[in-house]
Amino acid sequence: MSGLPVLIGGSEVDELLRYQDLVPRLEAALGQFSSRTGEVVQPVRTILPLEKYSGYLGVMPAYIPQDDVLATKMVSFYQRGEGSSMPNHQATVLLLDPERGALQAVLDGKAITDKRTAAVSAIATKLLKPARADVLCLLGAGDQALSHYEALTQMFPFKEVRRDGRRAARTSAVAPGA
């Protein structure tokens, strides 16, 4: 390996990953994934159950030969009790040199997970939303609710946003009245 891998922390990833860049790139990647010509090599994610802790570890490798990009995400997710201060989801993305297999970068994967998931929903919404649908409803008020709120309101001019979720009453994860 030549040199140490680059480390990119959560706030830097969050700053760099903008929906206006992410959405078109993801749309292209989804098209590559769905093509019949094997443009994306992505086995079904491996899930390791952590029964003792009501959790899972997911490992999600993928390779895009055309772009010569090799990466894997590792994500842990847990069923936490109400009021728990332990995190529900944590993720790390490893970027490797596909020719040598050397590790090139380690990225905090939490913002990637939040924004990737919301961006895919936004793409699906773009393709499926009836023109007259102008009220956004968010179920839950956690991290995904916030990232979906951001992605969807950036892409569509909703007249109204409704939300539910136990946390909605207690925090301002999504701005009150938003």
Interface ranges with ligand LZCNNONV (CB under 6 A): 75, 77, 89, 113
For ligand NDP, the binding residue among 73, 89, 115, 163 (CB under 6 A) is: 89
Q: At what angle do helices 19-34 and 143-155 cross, to 10 degrees?
A: 100
Number of alpha helices (DSSP H) and beta strands (DSSP E) in the chain: 4, 8
User: Which of ligand LZCNNONV, ligand NDP, none has residue 144 at its interface (CB below 5 to 8 Å by kind)?
Assistant: ligand NDP
Should residue 144 be labelled a site residue for ligand NDP when binding is judged by CB under 6 A?
Answer: yes
Question: Are residues 115 and 20 in contact, defined by beta-carbon separation less than 8 angstroms?
Answer: no
Strands annotated E in 36-151: 46-50, 55-64, 69-78, 89-96, 103-108, 135-138
For residue 81, what are its two tokens? Answer: 């009790």
Should residue 76 be labelled a site residue for ligand NDP when binding is judged by CB under 6 A?
Answer: no
Residue nearest to ligand NDP (CB): 142
Should residue 142 be labelled a site residue for ligand NDP when binding is judged by CB under 6 A?
Answer: yes
Shortest Cβ 168–ligand NDP spacing (Å): 7
